[in-house]
Amino acid sequence: MKKWTLFLSLYFCACLLAACAAQPVPEEAGDPPPEPTRADIICRVVTVEDDQLLLAGVDGDRNIYSLSWEDTKSIRPGDLVTVTYDGNVLEIWPASLGNVCAVSSLGSGFDDRCALYLQVLEDLWEVDPGLNGNDLTYIGVDLSTTSLSESERAAVAWAFAQKHGGELVTGTWEELAEQGYIDQEHLYWEDGCLFSITEKEMEGTYSLTPVTFDAQKWRSGLGAYFFCDCTSVQSSDGHWDGYSIGSEAIS
């Protein structure tokens, strides 16, 4: 009997020791919490509206990003910025970066050609407003023949369509016709209008960087407006200071 009592006592002691060993060891007081995950991404600032930034990815990043940031006083369209966030990206359009904790300018690489072309699109919107009246469902944008990156084109097109409350579609006239938006037989887009900018080559040597382009909005074969032979010059600090129009035409 004593042997069984001793055996049971040893068995329960072993179980108790095993249970104690399985318990997690509490962290010692004063240990610092683990560092949060951080990631950096470099983007081009396309628009700054109050505390809202629209950004285009660079270096092959085709995404565009929208984020709220209170301190935008020192941020300009055209800046290259580093955004520090937690590494998570919400795959919506524009994409959303998780828990942004810093937005800082690189201090170099400034180029506000996106702002220039947004202004051109706005000016096209204002002329001959009957072409883009209140019956628009779609706003087409074609920037495929500009020197903007893919992400910059996407950001400019999205910002323009959002401002005017239309559903954005992108592509050339031929692509939109193939997709059924434009009536190719009757040369008419019943519920949309196509805005496009086409850069042109310039010959010669210049002290500053110029660009020449044509721009147009097209509703039909008999409803279009053209800015022809437009010219803008980039200053040494990367700023495109407006543009001049060589001539205007209407059909």
Structural domain spans, the chain: 39-105, 113-250
Mean pLDDT score, 84-97: 95
pTM of the model: 0.85
Largest separation between any pair of C-alpha atoms in the chain: 114
**CATH classification number, 39-105, choose in 3.30.450, 2.40.50, 1.10.3470, 2.60.60:** 2.40.50
Mean pLDDT score, 187-203: 94
- Pick the residue with more confidence: 20 or 168? 168
The answer to whether residue 162 scores a pLDDT higher than 50 is yes
Mean pLDDT score, 48-73: 95
- CB contact set of 238 (below 8 Å; sequence gap of 6+): 78, 109, 110, 111, 112
The answer to whether residue 3 scores a pLDDT higher than 50 is no
pLDDT of residue 144: 98
- CB contact set of 134 (below 8 Å; sequence gap of 6+): none
Mean pLDDT score, 70-82: 94
| β-bridge pairing 96-97 and 89-90 | antiparallel
pLDDT of residue 133: 83
pLDDT of residue 18: 45
Mean pLDDT score, 51-57: 97
